[in-house]
């Protein structure tokens, strides 16, 4: 059962090859991980830009909606004021006729 020097060298060579393959796999995973991190950062930047755009659109829609509400209120008030003015004019004319 005594092993020869050649067998020990072969076993050592096999272990060295396995370690080299493990190191190659680790370096490949490191490269892929770095690439994934950069891709995620790019996507994060795009998502951030989309959030900002959405906030601007939502703010603009709120402003436009508010302005439309104010305009409709003013138009309604002006219409009512105009109707009251005409009623007053008619009332005054009836008094003189």
- Is there a single domain that holds both residue 64 and residue 90? yes
pLDDT value of position 2: 60
Percent of residues, the chain, with pLDDT higher than 70 = 96
- Whole-model pTM: value is 0.51
- Is there a single domain that holds both residue 96 and residue 51? yes
- In the chain, the number of structural domains is 2
Q: How confident is the model at residue 10 (pLDDT cuts 50, 70, 90)?
A: confident
- Is there a single domain that holds both residue 60 and residue 96? yes
- Is there a single domain that holds both residue 35 and residue 51? no
Mean pLDDT for 70-78 is 91
pLDDT value of position 97: 66
- Residue with the larger pLDDT of the pair 2 and 95: 95
- Is there a single domain that holds both residue 16 and residue 53? no
- Is there a single domain that holds both residue 68 and residue 89? yes
Q: What's the per-residue H, E or C state across the chain? A: CCCCHHHHHHHHHHHHHHHHHHHHHHHHHHHHHHHHHHHHHHHHHHHHHHHHHHHHHHHHHHHHHHHHHHHHHHHHHHHHHHHHHHHHHHHHHHHHC
- Is there a single domain that holds both residue 58 and residue 15? no
pLDDT value of position 89: 82
The range of the structural domain enclosing residue 12 comes to 1-39
């Amino acid at each position: 059962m005594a092993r020869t020097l050649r067998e020990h060298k072969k076993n050592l060579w096999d272990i060295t090859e396995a370690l080299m393959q493990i190191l190659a796999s680790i370096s490949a995973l490191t490269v892929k991980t770095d690439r994934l991190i950069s891709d995620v950062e790019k996507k994060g930047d795009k998502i951030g830009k989309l959030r900002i755009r959405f906030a601007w659109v939502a703010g603009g829609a709120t402003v436009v909606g508010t302005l439309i509400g104010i305009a409709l209120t003013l138009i309604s008030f002006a219409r009512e004021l105009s109707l009251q003015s005409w009623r007053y004019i008619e009332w005054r004319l009836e008094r003189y006729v």
